[in-house]
Amino acid sequence: MALLLGLLCTLCLFGQVLGQDIPHEEYLAQIQACPRECRCPPNFPHAVYCDNKGLKSIPTIPPHTWYLYLQNNLIEVLSADALRNATKLRWLNLNRNKITSEGVEEGVLSTKPNLAHLYMDDNLLSSVPSALPASLESLRLSRNRISKIPPGVFIGLDKLNLLDLQANKLMDDAVTEVSLKGLNNLVQINLAKNQLNSMPIGLPPTTTQLFLDGNNIEKIPAGYFKGLPKVAFLRLNYNKLGSSGVPRDVFNVSSILDLQLSHNQLTEVPLIPAGLEHLHLDHNNIKSVSGANICPVAVETMEDSANESVPRLRYLRLDGNDIKPPIPRDVILCFRLLTSIVI
């Protein structure tokens, strides 16, 4: 019976390995070359787990590694030699280490033609790493010390769709059309918790999600979003926006679905685009709200809630202002799809 169970386990393991399309010879070589500091699960042979080991340097990584986990260590140098054989790498997690920009060795990333996801959150980087592989799809660099984006660093990265730079030290002169050039297919960019005083320029027109919370932005130029025709999720919480710095119709963009302006200095509700579904205006200085001023369409043109002209707003947050309930009737008549109002 024990022999039969052992045979079944072996067959099961072999089936799992085959399911990952790895030849048996490569499987054996990969498992045998597993660094002693790391863990290489036999049923997931393309993955190497070296996380939470107190490592100060990267061990030599086997050649058939696709997924490499090195987070939560004390690594200071991203070594080209240690990763020399890992040319098939697709996913690299280096979060929560001590890697500096000087510690990113030349060619260590550009020689990885399959690398799609790079995680370097919570390190000591002062600049966006270069050169980066053209295969990259997501780049996460939050909570570093980045104050510089080298010109041209993103050129050729046509697959990059997510760029996370939140909680760094970027100022207006670092986020420019020149520094962002090459982000031709970017979908999400996170610039929250930096040191921006104005809206960033040079963002690609493909941008769908723009996060700018926790900066020092005081105004939005008229027509700013004409260059961002696909923006759907916009976060500007915890800035210094006053109504005088926000043109009344600046958010009147048909693509915007979710608009967050919490914890600013607004005294008026901006014009709400008809397609907007979620609006956060809590903790501002707004004293009143009137349907006549903020309704994007004439109420008399809306026959019923199925009418396409009916504004799509479903969630409205106004708490933390000087608005006293109840909400005026003309606001309810305008935004008749509202399911939740926080006041």
> Distance between alpha carbon 126 and the CA centroid of its chain, in Å?
19
Residue 22 confidence (pLDDT):
78
- Report the DSSP pairing between strands 209-211 and 278-280: unpaired
Kindly state the tokens that stand for 208.
């769908």
Residue 325 confidence (pLDDT):
86
In terms of Cα–Cα distance, which of 199, 292, 197 is closest to 250?
A: 199
- Global confidence as pTM: 0.91
Angle among Cα 218, 222, 227 to the nearest 5 degrees reads 105
Residue 6 confidence (pLDDT):
41
In terms of Cα–Cα distance, which of 69, 183, 175, 189 is closest to 117?
A: 69
Amino acid, single-letter form, for residue 63: P
DSSP helix/strand/coil, 148: strand
Q: What is the pLDDT along the chain (343 residues), one digit of tens a residue?
A: 443 334 333 334 334 443 356 788 888 889 899 999 999 999 999 999 999 999 999 999 999 999 999 999 999 999 999 999 999 999 999 999 999 999 999 999 999 999 999 999 999 999 999 999 999 999 999 999 999 999 999 999 999 999 999 999 999 999 999 999 999 999 999 999 999 999 999 999 999 999 999 999 999 999 999 999 999 999 999 999 999 999 999 999 999 999 999 999 999 999 999 999 999 999 999 999 988 888 888 776 666 555 677 999 999 999 999 998 888 898 999 999 999 999 8
* Segments in the chain forming alpha helices (H): 2-18, 24-32, 291-294, 329-334
Residue 27 confidence (pLDDT):
86
Residue 82 contacts residue 59 (beta carbons within 8 Å): yes
DSSP helix/strand/coil, 300: helix
Residue 298 confidence (pLDDT):
78
Paired with 48 in beta bridges are: 68
Q: How far is CA 207 from CA 189, 211, 255, 291, in A?
A: 7, 11, 11, 31
Residue 29 confidence (pLDDT):
82
Separation CA 336–CA 197 (nearest Å): 37
